[in-house]
Structure 1
Amino acid sequence: MNNNKGKLKEIQSTRGIAILAVVLIHITSIPLEVLPAGVPSHTVYTGINRALQFAVPLFLMVSALVLAYGIGTDGAIKWRDFYRKRWIRVVVPFMVWTTLYLSLLFITGHVGKVPTLKELLLWYGFGKGFYHLYFLSVVIQFYLVFPFLHVFWYRYRPSLVNTIIILATLQVAFYWINRMYLYPHFPYTASLLPSYIFPIGVGLWLGYNVSAWNHLWTRYRVLIGIFAILSGSFYVQQYLAVLAGHRINTFYFQMVWLLYATTIGICIIFLSRLLQQGACGKSAIIGKIGELSFGIYLVHPFFLMLWQRVFSPVTANEVHLFTCLGLVIILTLSGLVTYGLERTILAKPLYGIIRR
C-alpha cells in the first residue's frame, strides 16, 4: 500500500452526508408507522425516506474508493497483513456490537429463547443481530474478495465504459440468480455483497483513477446529474405506487435504485470536494461528523430506541417534533459518545482503531 499519498479530504464530508442520511432514514421510519397511509405528511416522509436510500451504497462506494486509492493499480497486497488489519478494523467491532445489541434485545425481552445454529449464523455472519449491522457484514464480504478484485484491476485496468458494462452485466445476472435460486432459501438480499456490485465497482474505478476525476466531472456532470434526478424520481414514484397497492416490475425497481444510489453518490463526492475547496464552517462540521461516522452508525440505533421510549408521538405535530428534535439529539449523543469512547481503551474492540 502506498502510504505517501495525500488524503482525499472530500471523503470525510461524503461520509458526513452519508451518515446524516442513515440517521434520517431510521428516524423517518417512525412517522411512517404512526401516520395513516395516504395523508400528505405520510407521503412526504415516505419520499424523504426513500430519497435517502443511497446512504448504505454510498458508504460501500466510499469504502471501495478509499481502499483502491490507498493501494493503487501498481500496489501489491500483502495478503496476511491485509486480512489481519481488516480483522481488527471491522470483524472484531462487528462481533462486539452484534453481541452488545443482542444483549440489549435479551434484556428488553425481544430475544428470550436459546438461539439456533441458523440464528447464530444470521446474527454473526450476515448482520441480522440488529437492523443496521448487515452493512458491516457486506463490508467484511467485500474485504474478503478485494485482493482478487485488485489482481483483476492490476492486470486489465478497465476503462470507465468497460467497467460500467461489466458491472451492469454482473448486477443484472445477480438479480436473476438471486430471484430464481437464492431468495426462496435466503431472503436477506441486503446482506449479500453482490447486491451492491454496481456502486462498489464504480467506487473501485474512482479510487484507482483519482487523476481522472476532474475530467470525469467536467465532461459528464450534467449527464450524471440527470441520471440521478430521473432515476431517483422513478424510484420514489415506484415505491409510492407499491404503497398505493399497485404492482411494479421489481427488476426495474432494483436496477433503478442502484443507478440512483451510484449517480447521486458521485454527485455527493464532488459536492463534498466543492465544500472542502470553499473551506466554510459547514464543511468543517460535516467533515467532523464524517470522522465520527463509523461510531455514529454503530451506536445511533440505541439512542433512537431510547428516544422512542422518551417520546411516543401520536399526532402529526408530535411526529414532526419527534423527527426534527430527535435528529439533533440522536446525532449529538451518538457523536459525543463516539468521540469519548475513541479516547479510551475501548476504541480498539468497538471501532477497530488505536486509542486517540
Structure 2
Amino acid sequence: MKLTKSDSGEVMRGPAPNSTRSSYWDVWKGLAIVAVVVIHSCGELSSSPPNSLTGLFGIGLRQIVNFAVPVFLAMAGFFAGRGPSGSPVDFYRKRLVRILAPYFIWTTIYLAQDAITESLNIKEAVKAYLFGTGIGIGYFVIVLTQYTLLTPLITRIKSGRKHFLIMMTITAIGLFFTYYFPALHPESPISKFPAYALPFFVWYPFYHLGIYAAQRQAAGSSSFNGPRKFITLTFIFAIAGFIEGYFWARHGNYSFGTSQLKLTNTLYSVTFFLLILSLSRSRTVFNHDSFLALAGRNSYAVYLVHMILLTPIQRFLGSYPAIIGLQPVYIFLSTSMTLFACIALVLLLRRLLPKRLAGMILG
C-alpha cells in the first residue's frame, strides 16, 4: 500500500475523509483511541482482588489495550519520518501549532469547568498546562511535544546500527527509571501519575522506531514484511505481559501491573506496531472506511475531549448496581457511549465552526 503525501505528519488528527487519506492508518488510529477510552473506563477494576475473576479480567483486558499510547507515538514517528525534510523551524512551527493549540484550548475549558466547583490558583493552573494535568491525561501531549522537538535530530541518523544503539540505550535508561520508581518505589513523588510518564525516555523506543521504520520502508526494505511472525510475537508478549501484570498486582502494585511502560508491554507494543506495519501493504479488513476510520481521523480531538464526557457517563452508569456489578458490561457501555458522544460533538463542531477555527480547536 502506497502512502500519500497527506499521510505525512498525521497522528491523532485529520480533516474529513478525502481521496488522498489512508483508511488503513485511520482505522488503526481509531482502534488506538478506542483502546484509550477503554483504559480510562477500567478504574473500577483496580479495587478487585487480582486472583478474582473480575481481577483477572481487568489485568487481561488492560494488557490487550495497552498498545494505545505506544502505537500512537510509533505512528507519529512513522509519519514524521515519511514527511518532507524541510527546515527544522518550519517543521516545529507547523507541528507544534497543530499539537499545542487544541491542547491549550481544551485545557482552558477543563480548568474553567473545575473553577466552577473548586478554587484554582495561578500555580495550579500553570502546572496544569505544563504537566498535562489540566485535562487529566495531557501527559501524552507533553511527551509528543518532546519528540517533535527531537525529530530533526532523529531523522538525520541514516545508519541502522546508530538507530539501534540509540534506541536500545535510551530504552534501557527508560526501563531503569520505570522499574526503579513506579515498580519498586511507588511511594516516591516521582512514581505518582503523571510525573513518571512525562519524560520522553520512558516511552522509547516507539517514536524512534516509527521514524526508523519509515526510513527503511522508503528505502525499499522488506524487514517489516511477514505478519505471521509479528502475530506470534505479539501473542507471546501479550501472555508475558499478563503474567507480569498479575505478579505486580499480587504484590500490591496493581497500577504498575497494568502499566503501558513495563518491559513486557514495551515488547508487546513494539511487535504490535510492527504487525500493523507489516499489514499496511496488503488489502485487509483494515483498509475500508468505517466508524473506526472516522474515529481515527478525529482521534486527537476525541483524546482531548473524552474525559469531560466520560465522567458524567460513568456517574450515570454507576447509579445502576446491576450494570456496575458486571464490569465487562459497564466498561463496554462506558466506552461506546463516550466514543459516540465524542464523535457526535466533534462532527457538530466541525460543521458549525469555520474550517480554520475548527482545526485550531479540534486539531
Give the letter for the 2:72 counterpart: F
Structure 1 residues 93-104: aligned runs within 5 Å:
93-104=102-113
Mapped to 1, the partners of 2:66 and 2:166 lie a distance apart of 24
RMSD of aligned Cα (Å): 3.2
Q: Report deviation, 1:138.
A: 0.9
Aligned partner of residue 134 in structure 2, secondary structure = coil
- Quick check: 1:23–1:327 contact (8 Å CA) kept in 2? yes
Match of 1:13 among 23, 27, 30: 27
Q: Deviations over 1:276-333 (max 9, x none)?
A: x246896533222211111111111111111122121545654343222222211111
Aligned match of 1:138: 143
Q: How does 1:255-274 map to 2 (within 5 A)?
A: 255-271=263-279, 274=282
Deviation by residue 1:113-164 (Cα, 9 ceiling, x = unmatched) = 4243xx44532122122332111111111111212222x32xxx122x6533
Relative distance call for 1:269 and 1:338 in structure 2 (3 A) is farther
Which residue number in structure 2 is paired with residue 166 of structure 1? Answer: 166
State the shift of 1:268 in Å.
Answer: 3.0
Per-residue deviation at 1:168?
1.3
Work out whether 1:107 is the aligned partner of 2:116.
Answer: yes
For residue 216 of structure 1, give the secondary structure of its aligned residue in structure 2: coil
- Can you list the C-alpha shifts for 1:236-295, whole angstroms capped at 9, x where unaligned? 211112221278999xx8332212111112223444654xx2468965332222111111
Match of 2:236 in 1: 230
Which SS does the other structure have where 1:218 is aligned? coil
2:362 corresponds to which of 341, 348, 351: 351
Which aligned pairs between 1:21-36 and structure 2 lie closer than 5 A?
21-33=35-47, 35=48
Are 1:128 and 2:133 matched, yes or no? Answer: yes
Mapped partners of 2:253, 2:58: distance in 1: 21
Quote the residue 1:69 is aligned against: 82
Q: Which amino acid letter does the alignment assign opposite residue 197 of structure 2?
A: A
TM-score under structure 2 length normalisation: 0.79
Alpha-carbon separation, structure 1, partners of 2:349 and 2:278: 31
Among 196, 202, 206, the residue aligned to 2:213:
206
Partner of 1:39: 52
The match for 2:99 is 90
CA distance in structure 2 between the aligned counterparts of 1:199 and 1:205, rounded to whole angstroms: 10
Equivalent residues of 1:89, 1:351 under 8 A apart: no
Q: Percent identity of the aligned residues? A: 21
- 100-109 vs 55-64, which moves further: 100-109
Tell me by how many angstroms 1:81 deviates. 2.1
**2:63 corresponding residue in structure 1:** 50
Q: Give the letter aligned to residue 103 of structure 2.
A: F
Q: Which letter does structure 1 place at the counterpart of 2:154?
A: L
Q: Is the 8 A contact 2:132 2:141 kept in 1?
A: yes
Match of 2:330 among 319, 322, 326: 322
**TM-score (norm. length: structure 1):** 0.81
Check whether the contact 1:96–1:350 (CA below 8 A) recurs between aligned residues: yes
More helix by share: 1
- Give the corresponding residue for 2:199: 192
Q: CA contact under 8 A between 2:30 and 2:299: conserved in structure 1?
A: yes
TM superposition shift of 1:97: 1.4
Q: Which runs of 5+ in 1 are unaligned?
A: none
Contact 2:82/2:214 (<8 A) preserved: yes
Counterpart residue identity of residue 127, structure 1: G
Which of 154, 173, 195 in structure 2 is aligned with 1:149? 154
CA-CA distance at 1:224 after TM superposition: 2.8
Consecutive unaligned residues in structure 2, runs of 5 or more: 9-19
Aligned residues: 332
Amino acid at match of 2:69: V
Distance 2:344 2:120 in 1: 34
Distance 2:127 2:337 in 1: 31
Indicate the residue corresponding to 2:16 in structure 1: none
